[in-house]
Structure 1
Amino acid sequence: MATKRKLSVLWNHFVEDETGKRAKCNYCLQYISISSGSVGNLGRHIKNKHPAIIVSVERQSIGETGGQNLENIASSSNLKPTQVTNSEIDKQVIKMISKGHHALRIVEEPEFKKLINMVSHCPGYQLPTRTTLTNNFLTNSYNELRNKLKVKIETTRAVCLTTDSWTSRTNENYIAITAHYIDEQTNLCSSLIECKKYNHTHTGENLCKVLKETMAEWNISYKIVAVVSDNASNILAAVRLGGWRSIGCFAHSLNLVVQKATKEISDVLVKVKAIVEFFKRSCQALQSLQDTQNRMGLPSLKLKQDVPTRLNSTFDMLDRILKLKDAIITTIALLRSDLSLDQLDWQIIEEVIPILKPFYEVSAEISSEKNVTLSKVIVFNKLLQGFLAKTSPVHVKVIALRDVLKQQMNKRFCEIENNVLFAECTVLDPRFKKLGFKNEQAFEIAVQGLRNKVGHVTIPDPAKSPLADVTNTASADANISNSSIWDDYDDIIITKTTPENKLATGIREVDKYLSEDYLNRKTNPLEWWEERKLIYPHIYAYLLKRFCIVATSVPCERIFSGTGQIINERRTLLKSKNVEKLIFLNHNL
C-alpha cells in the first residue's frame, strides 16, 4: 500500500511520518490521517485548504486518467518527478526569451520571480491552456479584485476622479476613470474603477453620461468632491454638465506656460531639433557621436526629442544637448557642419536651462500620486513666481522668455489662493499652513471658512472620538433621570448649545491645530494626521474630502502609457473585453 501511495501526485505536497499513519502538509504543516491506507484525506485537504494547488493536481490528472475522481487518480498515477539541472533550466529561460520575443529583463520582474518560486514548491503544477486562462482565471481574478475594491471604496468618505482616453493600435478607443481616496489607515489610494472600449464621440454630454454611470455602478455618486482633467474642452464640459467641481491638471498647466514662453527662442529650438533628428535618423552618425563621447570621457547619454504633448520634453532636450555640447560640436563639424549651433545659440541654451529647471522639478514632483499633492500647488506657485522675480538673464531673448513665464504664471494662477479647494488643502497640510500663502488675507479667509465647516462635520464613528466618553456619560445620566422635571432645562441647553457649540468646536480644533509646530516638508502629512485623528476628529473627518484630491491627471494617463505594452504588435487580436480586464488587473493588483 505504501508503494501505491508513493506513486500518487499528492505526495508532491505531503510527507509521511514515521508511523505511516499520518502525512504532514508541506504548506500548512497540518497532519492528515492516512491510517486506512487511502490518500483520499490528502486530496480533500488540498481541495479544501489549498484550492490554488488543487487546480494543478486536477489538470494534471485529467490528462492522465480521463477525469477520474481525485482519490482514484492519487492511487493510480504513475507520474514520477523529472530531475533537471540548473544549467538546463538556464538554457530553457534563454530559449523562452529568444523564441517568445520576451525582454531580457523578464528575469528581474518581481512577479516572474514569484511565479518561478511558487512553481519550484509545486512540482505537480501544469500550465493552464490559453482558453482556461482567458475564460476562467482572467475573469475570476478580475471579478474578485473588482468586488474587493468596491467594498474598500464604499468605506471611504470622499472620492476624487481623474479621467483620460486612448486609442489602441487596432484603432479602438478606450476611456479610463481612476478614483483617488483616503483609506481607513489614512493612506492615499488610487484605483482604476473603469476602463472600457468607447465607441461614441467624445462630446461633453457623452462623457458626462459615462462618468455618471461609473459613479452609480460604484455607489460613489454622493462622494465625488472633484474631477481632475487635462483641461480638454470636452472633459471640462462633461464636468460642468455633471455639476461637479473641476480641477485643471497643474502639470499640464505648467507645460502650457513653458511652451508659450519657449516660443521666444523658437529659432534655437528649431536648430536643436534638427540636430536631434539627424542623429535619430542616421545610425552611423549616432555611432560616431557615441565614439566621440567615449574618447572625451563623457557619460554615454542619448539625445532626447522635444514632444509637445509630453511634459518637460523641451527642457529634457535642451538639458541633454548641453551635457553633450563638446561631443556634438566635434561630431557635427565632421558630418553636417550646416547643422552647427553658433556661440550665441549655446549661450541662450546655457541661460535658459537654469530658468526652466524649477518648472521641470515642480512638474516631476507634482505628478507623483503617492502623497498629498493639491496642497503643494499654492506653495509651488508662490515659489516659482518668487524665483522668476529674482532671475536676471542677459540675452534679450531669454529676458523675453522670463517675462512670458511671469505673465503666464500670473494669468493662470493669480486666483489660486482664493480657490477654496486649494486654499483649505494647503491650510490643512501641517507642512505649509500659513507659510504656504503669498496673500495673508487669503489664508485668513480659508481659516475662517474651515472653522465653520469643521464645526459642522459629522464624525462617522463617534466611538473613535475623544468626546465619546462624555457623550456616553451624558446618555447614562439621561437614562437615570427621565423625570419630566428636567424637560425645560434640557430645552434651554439645546437652544443654547446647538449652533454656537458647533462653531466653538471648529474654532477650538482649527486654532489648536494651527498652533502646532510645522512638519518637515519631506514628511508624509497623512502619517501625521493618522497619529492625531483622535485629537482633531472633526478636522480629520473634513480633510478626507480635501487630501483625496490630486493636483494632476497624470495618474490616469499612466494607465494608457502601460496599455501600449498590453496591446502590442503580437497581441493585437486581444478582444476588447480582455484588454479591459488586463488593464484593470495591471493597475490594481
Structure 2
Amino acid sequence: MSEDEMDIVQSPGGETDVFVVSSEEDNARTGEKHKKGVKVKRKVTTKGSSKSSTSRESSDCWTFFEKVMVKSEKDPKVEELKAKCMHCHNLYIYVQGSSTTTLNRHMKKCKIFKNKVATKLIQSRLGYKPSNVRGESGLPLGVPSNGYEHTTMKELIAKMVAVHNYSFRMVEHEWFNIVMKYSNPLYQEIGRKAIRAECLRVFNKEKEILKAALKNVDHISLTTDMWTSNQTISYMCVVAHYIDKHWRMQTRVLAFMELDPPHSGNVMAVALFECVTEWKIENKIVSITLDNASNNDSAVRDLKAMFSVRRGTDFEAKYFHVRCCAHIVNLVVQDGTACMSTLVTNLRETVKYFKKSPSRLHKFVEICRSLGLKIGAHLTLDVCTRWSSTYKMLETGRPYRQALVSYADSDANYKWKPTNKEWDMFQLIEPLLFAFARVTTAFSGQSYPTANIFYPHIVSIKIALRKAMVHKDKTYNAMGHAMMDKFNKYWEEPNNVMVLATFLDPRYKMKYVDWCFGQIYDEDKAETELSAFKKDLDKLYEKFDSQKRQAEPQCKNTCNTSTSMPPADSEFLSFLSSTSTKRSKSELRNYTDDANEGMVATFNLLEWWKDVEEDDEEEDVEKVKLPKSVADCNYYSPRSDPAATSSTTPVVLSGHPALRELRFRVEVEIAGIPDQAWDRSSVETMLAPFLEIEHLLPSTRDGSDMSRFRFTAWTANPDAIP
C-alpha cells in the first residue's frame, strides 16, 4: 500500500484515530466499488496508547519484559512504573523513554530464561505416560510427560530420602547435583535444610491423607512394641492393621515415639490412648497385640478401663488383648530345648568366628572341598528372639559337621566344635523343631491375615508335643513335657477371638473347630469349650445384627393413631411389637451348613469374603412374577380406598447360590398396612414363619410412599407366603 495516505489524530480521551486513505488498487483487491479517482478514508481507533505505532519500543528486551504499575514502597498510595521479567517475575525500576541497559543485563543472568534456552537447544526426549507399576514405596515407576516441575521433583526427593533413610546432606553432594543436572538442565539445587522442611511437609500431607482414609474404616487392630536403642533411648512403635473397602489388608505406622522412663504399664497405656485419640480412631479399635511382658499386661488393664469409659457397651473387652503368638512360640522352644543350648551356642560362635576373618572362611571352604562336601547354603547367624532363624542356622550347619571337626584339628584357636552327640540329638528332635519354625514363619506374615491360621498351626504343635511326651528317649521325653507345660501356661485358657477367625475361614468353619478342640482338650473339656464358643458366636452375631438394624433409617409415623384404627387393633399391634421374635440367624446358620471350601494353597480369604459381599449386594437378578394367589395381602386401612383393600402384589424371586435353607430371594409389596404397623418389627412378626426380611426398599425406608410396604426377603418356599 505504497500509495496510501495515513493521518493520525489524537482524541481528548486518550484514543488515537488512524485514518488510512486507500488507493484504487486496494479497493479492487477488497472488492469495494467507488467512483474512479476517489480515495476513501478508513478510521481505525486504538486505545490505551498516547503515541503512534511508529514510536513503539525497539529494544529486544521488551520481548521478555512487560510494563506494570505497582504501589510505591515509599508511598503506597502512589503507583510507579516498573519492568517485570516474564520468566523470573523480578521487578526493575523503569522510566518511560529511559535506557534499557539494566534490563538487557538481567536477561544475560536470568537462570530460568537460560534453562529454557538450554532445553530448546538439546535433543527433545520422548514423553512416557505414568506407569501403573509401583515399587515398594507405592510410587508409580513412570516418567510424567507434562514437563519438569521443580515442586514435584522436590517432593519426590523428600520421599526418596524418607524411604531409603538417606542423609539430608545427600542433596548437597556434588555428584548428586551433577547427575540431576545432566538428567534435566532445569533442575535447581536444594539445600539440606530445604529438603528437611520438605520431608516434614510431605509427612504432614500423608498424615492427613491417612486420617481421611481411616474415617471409612470400621474396625482397626493395633500392634505395638517397645525397645531401647544402643544410646539408651526408649522407643515405642504403634502399627494399625485394617481391611480397606476393596477387601485388601492394610498396615500403617501410626506413631514412632520416644517414651521417657519409667516404662510402667500406666505410662504405656496413656501413650497408646493419646495416639489413637490424636488419629480419632478410639471408637474403631477392636484389639491390640503385645508380647508377654508384665508391664504389657498392666497396660492392657488400663487401656480396657479407658476404652470402657469412652465407648460403654460397644467395647468388647473380652477380645481386646491378643498375645503375640510368635513370641509365645519362641518362649516355648527356648524353655524346652535346654538340651540343645550347647549346640546352639557352639554353632552361633562358630559362625561369628568365621565371619570375623576371610582367611578362616576361605580355609573352611577348602576343607569342605577336600572332603568332597557339596557347598550349598552359607552358614547364617540367627536372631535369638526368632526361633525360625535359629532352626535355619542349625539346619544349614548340619551338612558341614565333618568339616567342622577337620577345621578344629587344623586351628588351635577354634574352640566351639559341636560334638556328635549334640548333632544326633538335633537329628532326633528335628521334626518337632521344624514344626515350631514353620509356625513362627507363618505367624510372621505381613501380606495375608494370620488370625485364621492360628488354630491349624497350634493343633499341629500340640500333636507333635504329645508324640514327644511318649517317646522312648528320656531327653526327648523330658523336652516334650517342658514344652507342653509352657504351652498350657499361655494357651490353656482359650482365646475365642482366634477361634472366631478360624470359624470365619470357609475352609474350616464349625466342623474344624469341633475337631480342633477334640485334639487339644480331653473329651469333657472339649465339649464345654465348644458350647462356650457357640454361645459367644451367637452373642456377637446378635450384637452386630442389632447394630446393623439400628443403623437402618426407620419411617416416622406422622398419622393420627387415635382415629385411624379401632382401640382393640391398636392394643393388639402394641402387643405384637412388645412380643416380636428375634431375627432369624439364617445367614450364620447357612454359612455353617454350607460345604467347606477346598484346602487350596492359593486360597485367598479376603477375596472370598469380597465375592460374598458383592453377591449379597447384587441387585441385577432375574425377576419372576408369582401367581396372584401367592401375593394377595388383604389388610384393612381406613386411609385407603375400599376398592384398594385387596390388591395383587408382585412377588419377585431369584436363586442365591450361597444359601441353602432360605434359597429364594423375593421382593414383596403389601398394601393397606396401618399407620401403627408401619415398621419393620411389626411386619417381621406377622410374616416370621414364612420369610426373613433382608432390606426395606427406599420408598418404604424413607416413608415417601405410604401406600405400599415394600421390602426384599429370603424364604424357603415362596408358595407358602400368605
Out of 60, 80, 98, the residue aligned to residue 118 of structure 2 is 80
**Relative contact order higher in (CA < 8 Å, ≥ 6 apart):** 1
| Structure with greater Cα Rg | 2
- Show the counterpart of 2:537: 450
Distance 2:344 2:323 in 1: 28
Unaligned runs of 5+ in 2: 1-61, 66-84, 93-106, 124-133, 149-183, 305-316, 519-525, 618-722
- Show the counterpart of 2:340: 265
Counterpart mapping for 1:325-404 below 5 A: 325-336=401-412, 339-391=416-468, 395-404=473-482
Deviates more, 1:276-285 or 1:187-196: 276-285
Distance 2:252 2:485 in 1: 37
Distance 2:293 2:209 in 1: 32
* 2:192 is equivalent to residue 130 of structure 1: yes
- Show the counterpart of 1:161: 222
* 2:486 is equivalent to residue 438 of structure 1: no
* 2:579 is equivalent to residue 496 of structure 1: yes
Aligned residues: 441
Distance 1:322 1:118 in 2: 53
**Shift in Å, 1:276:** 3.1
**Shift in Å, 1:260:** 0.3
Return the TM-score normalized by structure 1: 0.65
Distance 2:116 2:286 in 1: 63
Give the counterpart letter for 1:315 in structure 2.
Y
The answer to whether the Cα contact below 8 Å between 1:426 and 1:433 also exists between their aligned partners in 2 is yes
Counterpart mapping for 1:28-427 below 5 A: 79-81=117-119, 117=143, 122=148, 123=184, 124-135=186-197, 137-168=198-229, 170-243=231-304, 245-293=320-368, 296=372, 298-336=374-412, 339-391=416-468, 395-416=473-494, 419-427=495-503
Distance 1:427 1:110 in 2: 33
Residues 39 and 264 (structure 1), Cα distance of their counterparts in 2 relative to 1, 3 Å cut: farther
Give the counterpart letter for 1:453 in structure 2.
L
Distance 1:375 1:517 in 2: 18
Residues 257-282 of structure 1: CA distance to partner in whole angstroms, max 9, x if unpaired?
A: 00001112333334334433432344
The answer to whether the Cα contact below 8 Å between 2:219 and 2:285 also exists between their aligned partners in 1 is yes
The answer to whether the Cα contact below 8 Å between 1:156 and 1:183 also exists between their aligned partners in 2 is yes
Distance 1:536 1:454 in 2: 17
SS of match in other structure, 2:118: coil
- Show the counterpart of 2:39: none
SS of match in other structure, 2:500: helix
**Shift in Å, 1:240:** 0.8
**Shift in Å, 1:512:** 0.5
Return the TM-score normalized by structure 2: 0.54
Distance 1:443 1:307 in 2: 38
Distance 1:110 1:118 in 2: 19
Out of 501, 514, 526, the residue aligned to residue 606 of structure 2 is 526
Give the counterpart letter for 2:400 in structure 1.
L
The answer to whether the Cα contact below 8 Å between 2:388 and 2:440 also exists between their aligned partners in 1 is yes
**Shift in Å, 1:393:** 5.6
* 2:590 is equivalent to residue 512 of structure 1: yes
SS of match in other structure, 1:318: helix
Distance 1:298 1:74 in 2: 64
The answer to whether the Cα contact below 8 Å between 1:182 and 1:189 also exists between their aligned partners in 2 is yes
**Shift in Å, 1:363:** 0.7
The answer to whether the Cα contact below 8 Å between 2:340 and 2:422 also exists between their aligned partners in 1 is no
Distance 1:111 1:308 in 2: 29
Residues 128-162 of structure 1: CA distance to partner in whole angstroms, max 9, x if unpaired?
A: 32222111x21221112111111222222222111
**Shift in Å, 1:525:** 1.7
Distance 2:597 2:560 in 1: 47
Residues 314 and 75 (structure 1), Cα distance of their counterparts in 2 relative to 1, 3 Å cut: closer
SS of match in other structure, 2:251: strand
**Shift in Å, 1:113:** 10
Unaligned runs of 5+ in 1: 1-36, 41-61, 85-107, 538-589
**Shift in Å, 1:168:** 4.1
> Structure 1 or 2: larger strand share?
2
Distance 1:192 1:156 in 2: 16
**Shift in Å, 1:411:** 3.1
**Shift in Å, 1:348:** 1.2
The answer to whether the Cα contact below 8 Å between 2:435 and 2:460 also exists between their aligned partners in 1 is no
Give the counterpart letter for 2:390 in structure 1.
T
The answer to whether the Cα contact below 8 Å between 2:388 and 2:438 also exists between their aligned partners in 1 is no
Give the counterpart letter for 1:317 in structure 2.
M
- Show the counterpart of 1:544: none
SS of match in other structure, 1:125: coil
**Shift in Å, 1:206:** 0.9
Distance 1:289 1:133 in 2: 48
**Shift in Å, 1:254:** 0.4
**Shift in Å, 1:481:** 11
Distance 2:145 2:136 in 1: 14
Residues 479 and 535 (structure 1), Cα distance of their counterparts in 2 relative to 1, 3 Å cut: farther
Deviates more, 1:241-250 or 1:397-406: 397-406
Residues 67 and 355 (structure 1), Cα distance of their counterparts in 2 relative to 1, 3 Å cut: farther
Residues 488 and 267 (structure 1), Cα distance of their counterparts in 2 relative to 1, 3 Å cut: same
The answer to whether the Cα contact below 8 Å between 1:265 and 1:398 also exists between their aligned partners in 2 is no
Distance 2:137 2:500 in 1: 41
Distance 2:189 2:576 in 1: 72
Give the counterpart letter for 1:508 in structure 2.
S
Residues 65 and 510 (structure 1), Cα distance of their counterparts in 2 relative to 1, 3 Å cut: closer
Give the counterpart letter for 1:132 in structure 2.
A
Identity %: 21
Distance 1:401 1:120 in 2: 67
SS of match in other structure, 1:438: helix
SS of match in other structure, 2:483: helix
Distance 1:190 1:401 in 2: 38
Give the counterpart letter for 2:118 in structure 1.
K
The answer to whether the Cα contact below 8 Å between 2:135 and 2:141 also exists between their aligned partners in 1 is no
SS of match in other structure, 2:237: strand
**Shift in Å, 1:176:** 1.1
Give the counterpart letter for 1:492 in structure 2.
F
- Show the counterpart of 1:101: none
SS of match in other structure, 1:368: coil
> Structure 1 or 2: larger helix share?
1
Give the counterpart letter for 2:360 in structure 1.
A
Residues 208 and 342 (structure 1), Cα distance of their counterparts in 2 relative to 1, 3 Å cut: closer
Residues 155 and 182 (structure 1), Cα distance of their counterparts in 2 relative to 1, 3 Å cut: same
Distance 1:39 1:361 in 2: 71
The answer to whether the Cα contact below 8 Å between 1:208 and 1:238 also exists between their aligned partners in 2 is yes
Residues 118 and 169 (structure 1), Cα distance of their counterparts in 2 relative to 1, 3 Å cut: farther
Residues 395 and 83 (structure 1), Cα distance of their counterparts in 2 relative to 1, 3 Å cut: farther
Give the counterpart letter for 2:196 in structure 1.
T
